[in-house]
Amino acid sequence: MSAFIRVENAVKTFGDAESGTGVRALDGVSLSVDKAEVVLIIGPSGSGKSTLLRAINRLEKLDSGEIWIGDDVVTARRADLRHIREDAGMVFQSFNLFAHMSILENVSLAPRIVRKVPAVEAREAARAILERVGLADKFDRFPRQLSGGQQQRAAIARALAMNPKALLFDEPTSALDPEMIKEVLDVMTGLADDGMTMLVVSHEMGFARAAAHRVIFMDQGRIVEQGSPDDIFAHPHEQRTRDFIRHIL
């Protein structure tokens, strides 16, 4: 096993840092994720989970600290953003499917535009990926015509279409009705079984038990504790972790 994503001493402040009114979203976070490892990040809202995820594919710029994806330095001033984002796909809480395109176009857009794959080939590949997430009959639908669960599966397919080496999930099931959560988690578990490197911000215990290799508990911009799902959920060491686990269970 080798570290694929490495974060070292990440610091990020929102608002005015110097006057002290700013909010420290990341307060010296270090983390490494191995190839094919599935890491779950939990923690109260405002603990910096999403910021950490967004910093890894440079949707957010760090104040200080370094991040690597493979051999790319994400935090470099002249980082190859295209390459970084091809390597690490992202799935959002609110799906963010392109509203003016069919599902098939959503999935085939980035390969066509970024990778310059011929349109016919890109659509062919998109169909195969959509079938894999169980949306074989929805190619021509627009995002607003799909349920939340279907939209999120389409969004996962869109990220997969770029053949990412890792996937970042930012609360992928938080915006879903309970009966739709399972269909999304099933797709995610399938990816984990296939050896995808995954960093998932979520409180889904079912997914943690089924797929996560490691669980990280964050609070106030720091990693408080990490360990196997069983360690963190059943035998947490830190008081803060215990309090939090009690609240979400």
Partner 1 sequence: MKKNKVAAAFRGIPWWLVLLIGLGAISLGTALTDASYRVIFGAVAKGFVVTLTVAVVSYAISLMLGLLLGLARSSRLRPLREASTFYIELVRGLPMLVILYYIAFVGAPAMAGILNGLLAPLIRAGAMQPFESRSFSFATRAVLALTLGYAAFIAEIFRAGIESVDKGQIEAAYALGLSPTQTMIRVVLPQAIRNVLPALANEFIAIIKDSALVSVLGVQDITQIGKVYAASTFKFFETYNVVAFFYLCLTVSLSMLVRALESRLRRESVR
Within residues 140-179, the interface with partner 1 by CB under 8 A covers 144-145, 155, 158-159, 162
Nearer to partner 1, 110 or 188 (CB): 110
* Sole binder of partner 1 in the list 9, 61, 98, 248 (CB under 8 A): 98
Please check whether residue 109 is in contact with residue 120, taking contact to mean a CB–CB distance below 8 angstroms: no
Q: How far apart are CA 158 and CA 209, in angstroms?
A: 26
Nearer to partner 1, 200 or 245 (CB): 200
* Sole binder of partner 1 in the list 14, 15, 30, 113 (CB under 8 A): 113
Least distance to partner 1 from the beta carbon of 195, Å? 22
* Sole binder of partner 1 in the list 10, 31, 40, 97 (CB under 8 A): 97
89 contributes a contact to partner 1 by CB under 8 A: yes
Please check whether residue 127 is in contact with residue 160, taking contact to mean a CB–CB distance below 8 angstroms: no
In terms of Cα–Cα distance, which of 75, 162, 150 is closest to 117?
A: 162
Please check whether residue 244 is in contact with residue 227, taking contact to mean a CB–CB distance below 8 angstroms: no
Q: Which stretch binds partner 1 (CB under 8 A): 16-24, 105-113, 194-202, 205-213?
A: 105-113
Q: Which stretch binds partner 1 (CB under 8 A): 26-34, 90-98, 123-131, 233-241?
A: 90-98
In terms of Cα–Cα distance, which of 239, 213, 248 is closest to 1?
A: 213
Nearer to partner 1, 142 or 242 (CB): 142
Q: What sign for the dihedral angle of Cα 190, 168, 149, 104?
A: negative
Q: How far apart are CA 149 and CA 13, in angstroms?
A: 33
Q: How far apart are CA 67 and CA 62, in angstroms?
A: 9
Site of interaction with partner 1 (CB under 8 A):
57, 59, 81-83, 85-86, 89-90, 92, 94, 96-100, 109-110, 113-114, 144-145, 155, 158-159, 162
